[in-house]
Structure 1
Amino acid sequence: MKVTEAIVLAGGRSSRMGRDKALLPVKGQPLLIYLIAKLNGMGMRVTVSAGTPEQASMYRGLITEHLPTSGTGIVEDLFPGEGPLAGLHAALSSLQQPDYAFVLACDMPHVSSSLIGQLESHRAPDAMVVAVQGQPFHALYHTNIVPLLAGRLESGQLRMMEVLREAKAVVIEADDDDTNSAFTNLNTPEAYIAFLEQDQQ
């Protein structure tokens, strides 16, 4: 059974980039819109974890302008200022049915359907996370991990890789160049420029 929910984590401060990474132009549209459209094309409904009320308002306006019929949800952090762990917690908490969601960060422009298929094939009844070795995002998270995330947030334990260890994640190896490229991220102006140059080749 294919995963039908996706989460885009877009609540970061983008301090290394110097501007909001979700708004970076990619193929003539903001990166966030590009990702939502791509995930919708794979049959997934998207929830955007926006962090602050200000970010949520801005992203809501973008989605209304570009993808008004996409059914995209937007959530704000329930633990403000606590990074990607808080964003993941808020988004998973908002989902209505217990199931897996595909999770990626908004600065990861290469969504790999091949890798998603590999992750889906490794789901197990007691697995809260299915991820590639060393990569907490472009991964599957089950809604039953929410209490674990809440506990870590309440105690100030915010490292994503520790979450994967505590959750006893199913860890796989990406098996080709296409799936490895999924972990490209646009953290800095230099990375963004390199991505644009490669995309034009």
Structure 2
Amino acid sequence: MGCNKAHIAINDQPLWQYMLSLLNETHFREVIISGPEGLPDIIPGKGPISGLHTCLSKIPDNGHTQAVLILPVDMPLITSELLVQLVDQGQSLKTPLHYDNYQLPLYLPITEALRNYTEAVVHEADKRHYSLRRLIAHLHGSTIPVPDDQDWRFRNANTPDEWQHCLADV
């Protein structure tokens, strides 16, 4: 995109604030923002795993069931209803969960296995280990079907042209 996507304007606000307002429409109690607008990566350059690793470092193990929802900043067409559905089913199944054909958004129960995996991977030199697909497979994640006619909501914007298509559908 040639710039930090989080700062692109949508509905007269930066994209990261737009996505935050989307999360505020849900029942999530805490939101941790990874990146320049929130927590900088402890170990940068490892893709989404860097941000997840940093966020997990800020969530103490309190002995209760905890989970995270990873939501990319560049997916402005996703709805709070789709996020709540994902989290509700993830909580019910007690497993990492995402929609068919889309690794994000991603529901992850916080487990010792998740913490250990992210800690190990951020120290890897091989970029193949930074993949969310590998993380999901390692944790034996599962998928749920995308509701009818909702595939377009999972579109993300990685180019100016994709951004314009997203804006047309907001």
Give the corresponding residue for 1:146.
115
For 2:142, give the aligned amino acid: V
Question: Does 2:102 align with 1:130?
Answer: no
Question: Does 2:30 align with 1:76?
Answer: no
* Correspondence list, 1:158-169, <5 A: 158-169=130-141
Q: Structure 1 residues 170, 124: closer, same or farther in 2, change over 3 A? A: farther
Q: Distance in 1 between matches of 2:74 and 2:168?
A: 16
What is the CA-CA distance between 1:26 and the residue it aligns to? Answer: 0.4
**Aligned Cα root-mean-square deviation (Å):** 1.9
User: What's the secondary structure of 2:105's corresponding residue?
Assistant: strand
Q: Structure 1 residues 138, 182: closer, same or farther in 2, change over 3 A? A: farther
Give the corresponding residue for 2:8.
24
Q: How many residues align?
A: 160
User: What's the secondary structure of 1:141's corresponding residue?
Assistant: strand
Q: TM-score, normalised by structure 1?
A: 0.72
Check conservation: 2:77, 2:166, Cα contact below 8 A.
no
Q: Structure 1 residues 78, 169: closer, same or farther in 2, change over 3 A? A: same
What is the CA-CA distance between 1:121 and the residue it aligns to? Answer: 2.1
Alignment gaps of 5+ in structure 2: none
- Identify which of 23, 33, 43 aligns with 1:39: 23
The structure with more strand, counted as a fraction of residues: 1
Alignment gaps of 5+ in structure 1: 1-16, 60-73
- Identify which of 70, 82, 105 aligns with 2:72: 105
